[in-house]
Amino acid sequence: MKRLALLVAAGLTVVALAGAVGLPDLAGAQDPATEDSITVSGVGFVDAVPNEATMSFGAETRAATAKAAVAANADAMRKILNALRQAGGRELATQWVSVYPYTDETGTVNGYAASNSVSALSDVGDAPALIDAAAVAGANQISGPGLSSSNAEALYRQALGKAIDDARLSAQVLAKAAGRSLGPITTIVEGGTSSGPEPLFRAEAQAADSSTPIVPGEQETAATVSVTFSLG
């Protein structure tokens, strides 16, 4: 009995010491990482009419020798470049230059072809004049236009704001269905697997009086986000 009394006394001493050094109250502790939350995706769209057009203009010339083909092509491209500048083209840049032999059905080389292409940017309203001017100057390779907005970044930021609003609406519905209240945003991830704005084009062909009609249609800029809200 004396030995039992000593063991009980020792146990009480351990408990007393535990209280004295302030061991953590595991029952009352709460890990912030385990707080209830909800993660939803949101998508935002902004529509705008593109105001810029990018096009490609080129010329192919043929001659008996590669040197003659290149010389003829250089003369042709100088005329085209001058015409593009006069028609309001800007940011002109060479895309490629190539020289290659051309053959007949037997494989015999009959001469050489030289090709040169440049890109040019213009306002959408100036694009028809640019195309016509290049064709008159001798361009026999014309492609485009690629339509874009000069304020693309601002449009994307607007779409991001709408994506956050869309995510909040979805989270509110889910929280209400679960009988909870929606708290503040804790995490936002932009774009998912996308690294930037992804423009989507909706172009509608229409009749126009211009000799080379260009109808910009409507450009849709989209943004996506993944948002985590805390739950009350």
pLDDT at position 227 over 50: yes
Task: Write down the number of H helices and E strands in the chain.
Answer: 4, 8
Q: Is the pLDDT of residue 12 over 70?
A: no
224 in the same domain as 114: no
Question: Which residue in 142, 66, 153, 73 sits closest to 111, CA to CA?
Answer: 66
Residue 104 shares a structural domain with residue 177: no
Indicate if the pLDDT at residue 201 is higher than 60: no
Rounded average pLDDT over 161-178? 93
pLDDT value of residue 214: 73
pLDDT > 80? residue 29? no
Same domain, 174 and 199: yes
Are residues 144 and 60 part of one domain?
yes
Q: Are residues 143 and 91 in the same domain?
A: yes
3-state secondary structure of 188: strand
Domain total of the chain? 2
Query: pTM for this one?
Result: 0.62
Stretch 110-130: mean pLDDT: 94
Q: Helical H runs in the chain? A: 2-21, 66-86, 127-137, 152-177
Structure tokens at 11: 């146990």
- Residue 13 CA to residue 210 CA, distance in Å, equals 99
Overall average pLDDT of the 81-101 stretch: 94
Q: Are residues 111 and 80 in the same domain?
A: yes
Residue 42 has pLDDT above 80, yes or no: yes
Q: Which domain holds residue 71?
A: 52-148
pLDDT recorded at residue 8: 38
pLDDT for res 35: 73
pLDDT at 215: 74
Q: Please determine, for residue 31, whether its predicted confidence score (pLDDT) is greater than 90.
A: no
Asked, for residue 16, whether it belongs to a domain, the answer is no
Residue 125 belongs to some domain of the structure: yes
Collapse the DSSP code of 114 into the 3-class scheme (helix H, G, I; strand E, B; otherwise coil) and give the result: strand
Given a cut of 90, is residue 7 above it in pLDDT?
A: no
- For all residues of the chain together, what is the average pLDDT? 80
71 and 87 share a domain?
yes
